[in-house]
């Protein structure tokens, strides 16, 4: 089965204008905003951004120095102050990655020196708004801070918060483990990508007051790979002083790559490039394109445990590149065997979307998944779980007697991909006895159809992104035109988005998520296990998936 990237999906669907769906409301209209210059003084020099539609926006702001040339695989050089006023009106370059994997407007080509961030704030004043620092998705391999779906303008304007998003190193350049062959200077090399984010958080701590933000009230959050990055930051001493709460969204990083697996991947890379261990410094001279090609070749031989595994995104096997439990940057797995003690007093949100797997089936072109027979359902589950398949299928059939085989398959795969890891995190955080954990399911159902089928998007993976940023309608595409988002056409989408934004921004503001007119969201506990189901009308569900979880604990023990 060929897995496509998030960018491939977005290009085919919501942000690619959905040509196959031929929906009438997708006609474009050119868009222009009136903007005025706005300046701010940082500790490194003045920045000139734009005030647009009631929001001050600064793009491509450097937070660290070079990571190219002799700085490759090292922590970045110190950021040098500048004189005069630096323009901050254009996105910075994303990290080196395969082509066409980002979807920002007027976004530069990927580059090795990529350490910039974007800021959206209602005003540069002394109001001390909560600060929400977002970690983009795309695994640890693709993506950028410039995504149109993750634009922070509406969130900042409508909910009076400061939003920040970072570019950071990805793939081989961010996660090549050289600790065992390159000496002390390269200790921590397998975690440069998340170290970059920690350095960005330090920049935020030192400078966000000038943007109307409160450096003593910073929330980190992220979806998919961004959730896994957030999981790592939650367990990372280098990041700990600079954030105060976290939200892990459809990306439960329970476990990360072990050092021995990372070392094996490094050996495979050197072999592919024809470089001896003792000549590893040749890696510093190779063009990024050569390294990227080798990375992609190794990726093909790596496993897909970040999609199919039971330990959450990040616990992939050899061949891929991601954070490493190295004893330097990450001393332990983020949430295994327990929640990290250094974040014991930091509140946590964690959860997933009800129909996660629809996304993965769609981007892989697996249209058969949306028209399964009972026999095909069993065969597919058996290919994943072997002799446990009958127990799993029977349990889900009993729990959902009216569901089709496809609906059962999506339910099973969705909880395997994201649900079990999210619940594990909530349980282990709760067992600590410190700050609370809040567990959620995003349940709003988009009525758009999977291309080539009559099956709706439902609450698939990544659907929550436009909802939590209130970018659910008339999203700007890369050409600066408006198009429909993947939220679909149901009028209830606006209420669902407002509920999610209120929950997220109230959590950022007070550490207790709440939304006007919606039920109180209880902290997770091990007795009645409350889960907030987020939709146009929210609902607290106690001990959700009790039957299924009882089975999973037996089947996976």
Catalytic residue positions, numbered: 224
Task: Name 116's bridge partners.
Answer: 62
Give yes or no for a contact between 76 and 115, defined as CB atoms under 8 angstroms apart. Answer: yes
Give yes or no for a contact between 103 and 148, defined as CB atoms under 8 angstroms apart. Answer: yes
Give the H or E element holding residue 197.
helix 192-207
Task: Name 257's bridge partners.
Answer: 324
Q: Which residues contact 353 (CB under 8 A, 6 or more apart)?
A: 250, 414, 418, 441, 442, 443, 459, 460, 461, 463, 464
DSSP 5: P
**Distant-in-sequence contacts of 87-91, Cβ < 8 A, 24+ apart:** 87/47, 87/48, 88/47, 88/48, 88/49, 88/58, 88/59, 88/60, 88/61, 89/48, 89/49, 89/50, 89/57, 89/59, 89/60, 90/59, 90/60, 91/59, 91/60, 91/116, 91/118, 91/144, 91/145, 91/146
Q: Which residues contact 402 (CB under 8 A, 6 or more apart)?
A: none
**Helix ranges restricted to H, 302-438:** 305-308, 357-363, 374-385, 389-399, 405-414, 420-432
Q: Which of 270, 61, 77, 297 is nearest to 171 (CA)?
A: 297
Q: Which of 419, 233, 193 is nearest to 335 (CA)?
A: 233
Give yes or no for a contact between 353 and 418, defined as CB atoms under 8 angstroms apart. Answer: yes
d(CA 122, CA 213): 10
d(CA 302, CA 138): 16
Grouping H, G, I as helix, E, B as strand and the rest as coil, residue 114 is: coil
Number of Cβ atoms within 10 Å of the Cβ of 41: 12
* Backbone torsion region of residue 462, taken as left when φ is above 0, otherwise alpha when ψ lies between -120 and 50, otherwise beta: left
Task: Name 221's bridge partners.
Answer: 134, 247
Q: What is the 3-state secondary structure (H, E, C) of 428-471?
A: HHHHHCCCCEEEEEECCCEEEECCCCCCEEECCCCCHHHHHCCC
Cis peptide before 473 (omega within 30 of 0): no
Give yes or no for a contact between 490 and 447, defined as CB atoms under 8 angstroms apart. Answer: yes
d(CA 224, CA 371): 26
């Amino acid at each position: 089965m060929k897995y496509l990237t998030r960018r491939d999906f977005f290009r085919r669907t919501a942000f690619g204008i959905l040509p196959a769906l031929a929906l009438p409301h997708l006609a474009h209209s050119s868009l222009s905003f009136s903007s005025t210059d706005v300046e701010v003084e940082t500790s490194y020099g003045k920045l000139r951004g734009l005030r647009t539609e009631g929001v001050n926006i600064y793009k491509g702001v450097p937070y660290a120095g070079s990571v190219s040339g002799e700085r490759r695989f090292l922590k970045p050089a110190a950021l040098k102050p500048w004189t005069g006023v630096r323009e901050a009106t254009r996105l910075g370059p994303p990290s080196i990655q395969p082509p066409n994997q980002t979807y920002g407007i007027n976004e530069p080509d990927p580059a090795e020196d990529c350490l910039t961030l974007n800021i959206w704030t209602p005003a540069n004043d002394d109001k001390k708004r909560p600060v929400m620092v977002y970690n983009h998705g795309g695994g640890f391999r693709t993506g950028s801070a410039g995504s149109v779906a993750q634009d922070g303008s509406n969130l900042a304007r409508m909910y009076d918060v400061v939003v920040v998003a970072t570019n950071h190193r990805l793939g081989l350049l961010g996660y090549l483990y050289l600790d065992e062959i390159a000496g002390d200077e390269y200790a921590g090399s397998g975690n440069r990508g998340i170290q970059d984010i920690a350095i960005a958080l330090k920049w935020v701590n030192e400078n966000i007051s000038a943007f109307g933000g409160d450096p003593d009230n910073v929330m980190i959050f992220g979806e998919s790979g961004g959730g896994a990055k957030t999981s790592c930051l939650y367990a990372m001493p280098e990041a700990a002083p600079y954030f105060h709460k976290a939200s892990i969204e459809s990306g439960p990083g329970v476990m990360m790559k072990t050092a021995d697996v990372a070392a094996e991947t490094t050996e495979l890379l050197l072999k592919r490039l024809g470089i001896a261990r003792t000549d590893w410094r040749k890696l510093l001279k190779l063009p990024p394109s050569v390294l990227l090609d080798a990375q992609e070749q190794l990726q093909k031989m790596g496993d897909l445990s970040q999609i199919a595994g039971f330990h959450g995104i990040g616990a992939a096997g050899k061949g891929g590149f991601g954070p490493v439990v190295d004893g330097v940057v990450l001393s332990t797995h983020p949430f295994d065997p327990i929640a990290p003690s250094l974040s014991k007093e930091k509140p946590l949100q964690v959860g997933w979307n009800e129909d996660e797997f629809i996304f993965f089936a769609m981007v892989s072109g697996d249209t058969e998944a949306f028209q399964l027979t009972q026999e095909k359902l069993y065969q597919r589950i058996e290919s994943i779980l072997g002799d446990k398949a009958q127990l799993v299928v029977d349990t889900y059939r009993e729990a959902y007697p009216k569901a089709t085989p496809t609906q059962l398959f999506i339910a099973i795969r969705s909880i395997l991909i994201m649900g079990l890891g999210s619940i594990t995190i909530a349980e282990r955080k709760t067992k600590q006895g410190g700050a609370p954990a809040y567990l959620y399911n995003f349940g709003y159902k988009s009525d758009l159809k999977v291309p080539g089928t009559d099956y709706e998007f439902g609450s698939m993976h990544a659907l929550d992104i436009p909802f939590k940023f209130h970018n659910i309608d008339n999203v700007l595409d890369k050409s600066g035109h408006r198009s429909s988002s993947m939220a679909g056409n149901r009028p209830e989408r606006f209420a669902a988005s407002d509920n999610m934004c209120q929950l997220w921004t109230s959590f950022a503001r007070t550490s207790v998520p709440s939304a006007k007119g919606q039920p109180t969201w209880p902290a997770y506990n091990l007795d009645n296990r409350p889960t907030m189901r987020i939709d146009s009308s929210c609902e607290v569900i106690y001990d959700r998936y009790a039957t299924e979880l009882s089975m999973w604990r037996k089947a996976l023990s």
